[in-house]
Structure 1
């Protein structure tokens, strides 16, 4: 079973970029996606993001579960937006094309659907690049890349340990689950949903204790080695910039500047096809 959000060592142009390069590109990409509501820019960025994902040689089955979780969260987010602000699209675009009415004040309009489409597009524009940054960057280089742009190494090391710990939690969960099943706790699809839920809950307490033991061991090792005593530190894993890094940063910077110019050239963030 593939581990979620774990570093995948592959030979691709994305993997060969320095961690600091991927971090800077991810920040610029995310800012561009967050600042714009121009559908044309978001669609273009989505196509570029999917192309980069293809170049990374990461397979769909290695990220499918994470993407499905994001999709579920996004569905709930869109439902919440409609429940709490069913006229948001009408207020933004200044027109109202009614499709059909629901109970009370809830009316489905073309403007609201278009606004929710743009919200969805923004998420799916960022998700591939976020996954690329996490899955193609070695955790040690991940920490050094943050430190390289001026963030305290204490913070970067905490983030690095967190990323390293995610696969460990998944392995511990599977090992405990297999032990429980060997003792007769059925977690397969043959058991009812309620039974599977109860048996799965029995894994949580052992998992917590295993995690606490690992945290204590890591903390003791860091204290014994004097972690945090000095203001700076060196890194075992750090890539120098080469031509590919400078090219990647330049292209993303051009994309970022272009998206800002196109988004705000008429004084507003929203592309309005209803005018």
Structure 2
């Protein structure tokens, strides 16, 4: 674990310069649109746009690669489960059957099922990049200010910000404990066999948990001594005001929503059907 995963890094990019409130609202509306629609054209356009946003952010692949691989693994399991439990869902949705080949029993591969699961894949590929981008380009303190700005209680907002700040701290503690364990002969590197390695990693979790609990106690005591939570409102040092680029981002997401709704209405349903 040589790099900090899913931690904010201050960079000079158009995405980083957006206000936290803008990115939060954009992400929320983007997620709603991508989850509601099954229009392939809309999802493909959103996916390509999310890739462009990632390129503009200047975020390096190593900063989120591990989490991305983990998401893709569960994404693969989800696809397998969909086919195992409902291999003809696409046929029910699109109303036609174009069988490619039969496997066994009621399991057969159809164009409709492949197209249906392709759309599900697009949904993941549309939401995941924006979610990662939001986490990687938003300062935790500014994120807390953004939550408070849209009506979330500042205590909850601050708790979320602390959770985001703990991510790199926990990674650093894990790395230090891992090095200490390796010095005592407990190897967690790739040189060890997989099951032995997993067993050694589990042995690190207890001291990692205890160190995390201790840090929570220290932070809680410090906040209490400073009178946190005494007043109903608070100000934020890292809060940003909206600028022209923030309003441009709002315009983009509203256009995306309008186009998606238009395509859905023209289809007559949430699903784009190329088989009719």
TM-score bracket relative to the smaller structure: over 0.9
Q: 1:266 Cα deviation (Å)?
A: 3.4
Q: Which residue of 1 aligns with 2:100?
A: 99
- Aligned-pair Cα RMSD in Å: 1.2
Q: Which residue of 1 aligns with 2:181?
A: 180
**Alignment partner of 2:256: what SS?**
helix
1:191 maps onto 2:192 in alignment:
yes
Q: Which residue of 2 aligns with 1:237?
A: 238
Q: Which runs of 5+ in 2 are unaligned?
A: none
Equivalent-residue separation in structure 2 for 1:35 and 1:243 (angstroms): 29
Equivalent-residue separation in structure 2 for 1:15 and 1:3 (angstroms): 18
Q: 1:191 Cα deviation (Å)?
A: 2.0
Q: Which residue of 1 aligns with 2:220?
A: 219
Q: Which residue of 1 aligns with 2:116?
A: 115
1:59 maps onto 2:47 in alignment:
no
Residue correspondence of structure 1 range 139-154 to structure 2 within 5 A: 139-154=140-155
Q: 1:65 Cα deviation (Å)?
A: 1.4
Q: Which residue of 2 aligns with 1:87?
A: 88
Equivalent-residue separation in structure 2 for 1:8 and 1:116 (angstroms): 35
Equivalent-residue separation in structure 1 for 2:194 and 2:244 (angstroms): 54
Q: Which runs of 5+ in 1 are unaligned?
A: none
State the Cα deviation string for residues 141-192 of structure 1 (Å, max 9, x = none).
0100111111111211111111101111111111000000011112222222
Q: 1:229 Cα deviation (Å)?
A: 2.3
Residue correspondence of structure 1 range 34-53 to structure 2 within 5 A: 34-53=35-54
Q: Which residue of 1 aligns with 2:127?
A: 126
**Alignment partner of 1:13: what SS?**
coil
Deviates more, 1:205-214 or 1:219-228: 219-228
Aligned length, in residue pairs: 275
Give the TM-score, by structure 2 length.
Answer: 0.96
Q: Which residue of 2 aligns with 1:272?
A: 273
Q: 1:256 Cα deviation (Å)?
A: 1.2
Equivalent-residue separation in structure 1 for 2:30 and 2:123 (angstroms): 11
